[in-house]
Structure 1
C-alpha cells in the first residue's frame, strides 16, 4: 500500500498543465508545461518534449537530438537534475496519461496502452501493476467505485 501512495505522489509531481514557473527557454508560455521540480532549462525542454510526444516511440537519442545535446551527457544531466533516468520519466508521464484515460469506461486497457505509446498490452499491465500494485482494470474499478461513492 505504501508503494501505491509513493508512486501516486511521484506521479503527482508530473501534474501536467500547471507549471511552477514560467518557461525561460523560448517555449510557448501557453503550452502545456509539467510541474516537475527542476530549474535547468534544458531539462524543462526535455520534459516538455516527452510530455508532448509520450504517445510516440521516443528514445533518449531522439530527445537529445531535439535539444542538440549528446545523449550520454543528457542522460547524466537528467539523472542529476531529477533523480530519475529518462525511461523512468517517460514511464511516469505515460502512466499519468493512462490513469486519465482509464477514467473513460468505454476505453479498453489495450487501447489506453497504445494511446500512451506502449504497444504491448501485457507489458503495459505489468508496468502499471509495478507502479500502482494493481492492474489497469482493477484501477478502473476502484476509480469507478470512488466516483460512485462521492455521489
Structure 2
C-alpha cells in the first residue's frame, strides 16, 4: 500500500497545483468516501485506478475549459486594444510584445475568433469610422483620412474604394441624396 499512498499524494499535489494556477473552484467531495474495496472487503487496484482516472479526466476538463476561456479572453482583449488604437499604425509584433504571445499564435487565434486577419479588421474599423465622419460635410477627405489613421489620403481613397466599391466622395454624395 505504500506505493499507492505515494501515487495518491502525488496526484493530490498535482491537483492542488492546477487548482491554484488556474483558479478553479473544485469540490472533490464526490470523491470523498470512495473506498477502493471490492465486495469481499479486499483492496481493488482496478477500482482505485478507475476512480483516479475519472477524477483526473474531470480535472483535465476543468483545466482545459479554464485555459481555453483565458485564451479567448486574451483574443478579445487584443480586439479591444485594436479597436481603441485603430488610428495608430498598429504592428503585429507590438501586439505580440504587449500581450506576451507569439505573432503566429495571435494571428491564428484572432482569425479563428473573428474570421479575418488583424490587418483586415483594422481596415474595417478605419473604414467604418471614416463612413461616420463622411456624414459631416465640413470635413475634408484628407482630414478624415488623417483622423482614421492614414497619412496618405490617396491611399485612403484607394482602400476605401476597394472595400466599399466607391470613393469616399461618392459615398458622401450618396449620403446627401438619401
User: Rg: which structure is higher?
Assistant: 2
Q: How large is the RMSD of aligned CA atoms in angstroms?
A: 1.3
Q: Secondary structure at the match of 2:95?
A: helix
**Which structure features the higher share of helix residues?**
2
Structure 1 unaligned segments of length 5 or more: list them: 1-38, 147-151
Q: Which has the higher contact order (CA 8 A, sep 6+)?
A: 1
Are residue 85 (structure 1) and residue 117 (structure 2) matched? Answer: yes
1:63 and 1:100 map into 2 onto residues whose CA distance is 27
TM-score by length of 2: 0.58
2:136 and 2:98 map into 1 onto residues whose CA distance is 33
Structure 1: 4+ residue segments shifted above 3 A:
none
Are residue 48 (structure 1) and residue 100 (structure 2) matched? Answer: no
TM-score by length of 1: 0.68
Instruction: Tell me which of 113, 123, 132 is aligned to 2:145.
Output: 113
Partner residue, 1:60: 92
Q: Secondary structure at the match of 1:40?
A: helix
Partner residue, 1:96: 128
Partner residue, 1:142: 174
Aligned length: 108
Q: CA deviation at 1:80?
A: 1.7
